[in-house]
A and B are shown apart, each in its own frame.
Chain A
């Protein structure tokens, strides 16, 4: 058994409005909002690294949980923007957290990385003890590369989220997860070293709009739970229009899908845990109520994870 103990997050102070981002591609804030739901995003300082952001979110999470970094069994850091081939940011983030000696594993996956890391943590926590899962991204350095593409440059932001998964009881138990990958589409969403991000938006949206609801249904059906019974859907915050479409496909009100994309844009693998952190602090798990985490990203990798509020 594995439990969600606590969440943490950290967002840069610098806010970039959609008016500013829209101007990069000859458009305006209204267009950006219509195609994505995004009104502003945060950009990290030039001196910040992914490991810095990860450590700040991780520290926030550990402080709230009352656990010291040296007592962790493992750190999993999901990021598609680690900045170099090796070493990845996990070991640097661990050092910044004061967790020298704790195994720190990189999950170099954009967008779906936090979900995969959460699933992995839920299976390893019983053997290793508390696992700190972090998603951290500095997408701004990617979107500011020339040429700035209209369908890419306005979508992304920076940030970090974290989740502590423990074998000891916490506010929610992780029940099950469904994960999948298909490299057929590897070139439809791709970031090569030093190059601008390449995205076939039509393919991404088409596949995501089918695969995410299918994964959510699959994990719910294993436990005879209907979508209407789910307290909240915590998603990778890719695009508000996509969140609304998935809600409609599942037949649940769009409000059931927590959304903060308006304020932060798409922060890739950080977004799921930033969203979960904000939801947890505002509302939190209801005893016995199912909660679904889901994501889709470059690869393609996708999946859904089912948790249930403890204490019913």
Chain B
């Protein structure tokens, strides 16, 4: 499974919603993510990608789209 497919699977598991948006679409504005699902998404990213996301990186904008999450993961690799 490529990284994007894995990301979409993670988001489906966290939000219990279909992820049918473009990589640039806002996960918040599209109603997929809300304030209380975001911490779960961050925890799932840490677990699935074996990274520790420091509190200083916890800016909601970094996780607001598939593209931005990918960019963040790139910055950590």
Interface size class for chain B? 10 to 19
Known contacts: A203-B60, A206-B60. The answer to whether A241 contacts B36 by CB under 8 A is yes
Q: What secondary structure prevails in chain B residues at the interface with A?
A: helix
Q: In the complex, which residue of chain B has the Cβ closest to the Cβ of A207?
A: B58
**Are B35 and A211 in contact, with the CB atoms below 8 A?**
no
**Are B58 and A206 in contact, with the CB atoms below 8 A?**
yes
Measured in the bound complex, the distance between the Cα atoms of B37 and A202 in whole Å is: 10
Measured in the bound complex, the distance between the Cα atoms of B38 and A229 in whole Å is: 29
**Are A206 and B42 in contact, with the CB atoms below 8 A?**
yes
**Are B36 and A210 in contact, with the CB atoms below 8 A?**
no
Total A-B pairs, Cβ < 8 A: 34
Q: In the complex, which residue of chain A has the Cβ closest to the Cβ of B63?
A: A206
Shortest Cβ gap from A182 to chain B (Å): 8
Measured in the bound complex, the distance between the Cα atoms of B28 and A210 in whole Å is: 20
Known contacts: A202-B28, A202-B60. The answer to whether A210 contacts B55 by CB under 8 A is yes
Name the interface residues of B33-77: CB closer than 8 Å to any CB of A: 35-36, 38-39, 42, 55-56, 58-60
**Are B38 and A207 in contact, with the CB atoms below 8 A?**
no
A95 interface hit (Cβ, 8 Å):
no
Which of B28, B35, B56, B59 has most chain A Cβ within 10 Å?
B35
**Are B55 and A202 in contact, with the CB atoms below 8 A?**
no
Name the interface residues of A197-212: CB closer than 8 Å to any CB of B: 200-207, 209-211
Measured in the bound complex, the distance between the Cα atoms of B27 and A202 in whole Å is: 12
**Contact residues in A for B39 (Cβ distance below 8 Å):** 205-206, 209-210, 245
**Contact residues in B for A245 (Cβ distance below 8 Å):** 36, 39
Q: What secondary structure prevails in chain A residues at the interface with B?
A: helix
**Contact residues in A for B55 (Cβ distance below 8 Å):** 207, 210-211
**Are B36 and A242 in contact, with the CB atoms below 8 A?**
yes
Q: In the complex, which residue of chain B has the Cβ closest to the Cβ of A210?
A: B55
**Contact residues in B for A184 (Cβ distance below 8 Å):** 56
Name the interface residues of B11-26: CB closer than 8 Å to any CB of A: none
Which of B36, B58, B59 has most chain A Cβ within 10 Å?
B36
Residues of A near any B CB (own CB < 8 A): 184, 200-207, 209-211, 241-242, 245
* Across the A-B interface, the 10 shortest Cβ-Cβ residue pairs: A202-B60, A209-B39, A205-B35, A202-B35, A241-B36, A206-B58, A201-B35, A206-B38, A206-B39, A203-B60
Q: A206-B42, A206-B58 are in contact. List 5 more A-B contacts (CB 8 A).
A: A202-B60, A205-B38, A206-B38, A209-B39, A210-B55
Task: Sample 13 A-B pairs with CB under 8 A, ordered by A number.
Answer: A201-B35, A202-B35, A205-B35, A205-B36, A205-B38, A206-B39, A206-B58, A207-B55, A207-B58, A209-B36, A209-B39, A210-B39, A245-B36
